[in-house]
Structure 1
Amino acid sequence: MQVPLEIVYRGVDKTNALESLIREKVSKLERVCDHIISCHVAVEQTHEHPSAGSPYRVRINLTVPPGHELAVDKSPDQGTQYKPPEALIRDAFEAAQRQLTELVDRQQQKVKQHPDQSAGGIITQLFASEGYGFLKTFSGQEVYFHKNSVLHDDFDRLTVGTGVRFLISEGESGPQASTLQVVDKPGERAGKGDQAEDTAATPPLGWQ
């Protein structure tokens, strides 16, 4: 993960058990998608009257290149059975994993269906002084790129973890990226507003 995991507690005591559970669930998300940029988790007590429904709420916000934001908001409605925070955390991460799995499947399928069209990936190695680097596509392929292939003179904006869009062509030494465009830079999207429960933000034009 490019941005350190952020966990906040509001009106809920931070315990080793809750912290360990959240970190365990985040690790499972990273096994589904190894290029998550950031993850924000909030565990909150929204009221002090269990008769009005569970007093707890769990929110998860993920950012995934090249510009996707996934959000989950779990808080049982009024009249539902009281749930402790541990149960809500598990429910929220199950929903987040479903969203993330669907997104990764769509990205990989798009690459398979349109191998000659614009692809997406993240920067994995950067040799700034030499003017080149390597990126990894969402299907796991490592691809070389040169400074001259980066659009809008954005080579200096690149860091490891930056989400990019590009074309792949066959060079003398193997595949290489051309017309590389910065789509999402680590940290630039972290901390944005919450989304509705179990919904994913609309990806940029050309990504589905």
Structure 2
Amino acid sequence: MMQRELQIAFKGLDSSPALESLIRERASRLERQYPRLVGCRVVVEIPHRGSRSAKVPIAVSVEAEVPGRPAIVGKDQTERREAKEDYTAALNNAFHAVERQLDKLADIRNQDVKPHAADGRSGMVVRLFPEQDYGFIEADGSPELHFTRSAVAGDAFDELTVGMIVQITPATDEGPMGPQASSVRLLDRSMTPS
């Protein structure tokens, strides 16, 4: 169950019980897909439009909160079908965008992401903080991974430089700074871009 109650806002148009019901159903699906969901906010609005457009667009924004990460956002905007008052296309597209992002997060947490090196995943050191004994690695298909001096094999932390390609083993649990690497190994220097 989400820690925060679902928030639904309508801007520039009246609320609709049918649309609210669909939003609640889609948010419930998100929660089943990603049980660690902290909260969800949905905004349905008629954005400002220029005077040259006769058709009124409808915009939907879905913002999902998960622990230790920035909010995951899905947005869509479409022309409103005045005769049907059909907002479902924009709503479904916005929720689909969030679902895809949550699927990627779940794959990363479950380590279902394909390895990028024969004997493990590889990534590039993107930030180093030697005074505080930690840094960050960017790996394809995942968020930046935090790592500490103790995670670097062979006491090689001081050999790391920004841009260096390393072999990583993502940790199963997130740390205080989000996703983390449990193991970092230096690769052959010929693999590191100069």
Q: What CA distance in whole angstroms lies between the structure 1 residues aligned with 2:15 and 2:68? A: 33
Offset of 1:105 from its aligned partner? 0.9
- Deviations 1:96-121 (CA, angstroms, capped at 9, x unpaired): 1111111111111179x9xxxxxxxx
Alignment pair present for 1:102 and 2:104 = yes
- Deviations 1:122-153 (CA, angstroms, capped at 9, x unpaired): xxxxxxxxxxxxxxxxxxxxxxxxxxxxxxxx
Aligned partner of residue 103 in structure 1, secondary structure: helix
Offset of 1:45 from its aligned partner? 0.7
Q: Which runs of 5+ in 2 are unaligned?
A: 116-170, 182-194
For 1:55, the aligned partner's letter is P
Q: Which runs of 5+ in 1 are unaligned?
A: 114-166, 169-176, 184-203
Q: What CA distance in whole angstroms lies between the structure 2 residues aligned with 1:32 and 1:53? A: 35
Q: Tell me which of 30, 55, 76 is aligned to 1:74.
A: 76
Question: After TM superposition, what 4+ stretches of structure 1 lie above 3 angstroms from structure 2?
Answer: 47-54, 81-84, 180-183
After TM superposition, the structure 1 = structure 2 runs for residues 16-35 of structure 1, keeping only pairs within 5 Å, are: 16-35=17-36
For 1:206, the aligned partner's letter is Q
Aligned to 1:55: 57
Alpha-carbon distance change, 3 to 99 in structure 1, aligned in 2, over 3 angstroms: same
Alpha-carbon distance change, 205 to 35 in structure 1, aligned in 2, over 3 angstroms: closer
Offset of 1:72 from its aligned partner? 1.2
Alpha-carbon distance change, 82 to 30 in structure 1, aligned in 2, over 3 angstroms: same
Alignment pair present for 1:15 and 2:16 = yes
Q: What CA distance in whole angstroms lies between the structure 1 residues aligned with 2:3 and 2:179? A: 24
For 2:4, the aligned partner's letter is V
Identity of aligned residues (%): 34
Residues paired across the two proteins, number: 119
Alpha-carbon distance change, 44 to 110 in structure 1, aligned in 2, over 3 angstroms: same
The structure showing larger relative contact order (alpha-carbon pairs under 8 Å, at least 6 residues apart) is 1
Offset of 1:86 from its aligned partner? 2.1
For 1:15, the aligned partner's letter is S
Alpha-carbon distance change, 87 to 181 in structure 1, aligned in 2, over 3 angstroms: closer
